[in-house]
Amino acid sequence: MQNKGIFISFEGIDGAGKSTHIEALAQAFRAQGRSVTLTREPGGTPLAEQLRTLVLNEPMDPLTEALLIFAGRRDHLRQVIEPALARGEVVISDRFTDATFAYQGGGRGFDVAVLSTLERIVQATAADNASFIRQPDLTLWFDLPPETAAERLAGARVPDRFESQPVVFFQRVAGAYAQRHAQDPARVTRIDAATSRHAVWQQITSTLVRKGWLAIMVAAQAGPK
């Protein structure tokens, strides 16, 4: 098993069921003796968490929304993600840039070329290499029909600016996730989230075992509670 830093993001529409699997995966890595940084976007630093509160609750135009999300991401990369990877840790983030292409690009219909430009500027994190753009080593995309996700979420909590969107919004978000997967299938792995919790966990662990990041024994013993 390697001990280099590994950056994994979890993605999917609201209600796709990422949370318990994120916890379980962190536990599995820890059982293997790895240090894990568990984080999320929007957010992950005190500054980015303040931006998150604004983005999820305050009315704003789509460009303002995209800029605030990328501003938070820059701080998150510099303060948390890059230092943890440099220490050789496993970084697991509940969402990263694919969510911006899905929600702002797909959901809101915001200009994807502008998002790509911001991605290149914000995720250039190596001072000595201008062409380096930080991306997750692996993205686990929880694919679930928007109608099913809406049923799962119904009445769960007070919805934020995204959760309160109609199903058509999430159909566009899901379409944009599918496009990200098609553009980079080596990085973005599709997880069929319409199956049982156990079956979802097995899809995740088999992906990680195949990459040589997780031992089969650890994968078999761990799992969502």
99 forms part of the interface with ligand TYD (CB under 6 A): yes
Of 17 and 218, nearer to ligand TYD (C-beta) is 17
50 forms part of the interface with ligand TYD (CB under 6 A): no
Stretch that binds ligand TYD, among 20-28, 92-100, 115-123, 200-208 (CB under 6 A): 92-100
42 forms part of the interface with ligand TYD (CB under 6 A): yes
14 forms part of the interface with ligand TYD (CB under 6 A): yes
Q: How far is CA 38 from the centre of its chain?
A: 11
- In the range 164-223, which residues lie near ligand TYD by CB under 6 A? none
110 forms part of the interface with ligand TYD (CB under 6 A): no
Of 36 and 51, nearer to ligand TYD (C-beta) is 51
Say how far apart CA 91 and CA 35 lie, in whole Å: 9
Of 167 and 216, nearer to ligand TYD (C-beta) is 167
Say how far apart CA 173 and CA 148 lie, in whole Å: 14
DSSP 47: H
Contact indicator for 203, 133 with CB cutoff of 8 Å: no
Return the structure tokens found at 3: 């001990």
Of 49 and 163, nearer to ligand TYD (C-beta) is 163
94 forms part of the interface with ligand TYD (CB under 6 A): yes
- Count of residues binding ligand TYD (CB under 6 A)? 12
Interface residue with ligand TYD, options 37, 39, 100, 139 (CB under 6 A): 100
Of 68 and 219, nearer to ligand TYD (C-beta) is 68
Return the structure tokens found at 37: 């940084």
3-state SS class at 127: coil
Of 75 and 218, nearer to ligand TYD (C-beta) is 75
- In the range 139-168, which residues lie near ligand TYD by CB under 6 A? 162-163
In the sheet that 36-40 helps form, which strands lie side by side, from edge to edge?
36-40, 90-94, 6-12, 138-143, 188-192
- What residues contact residue 23 under an 8 Å CB cut-off, 6+ apart? 38, 224, 225
Contact indicator for 166, 108 with CB cutoff of 8 Å: no
Phi, psi values for residue 34, rounded to 5° = -90, 145
By CB under 6 A, name the binding residues for ligand TYD. 14, 41-42, 69, 94-95, 99-100, 103-104, 162-163
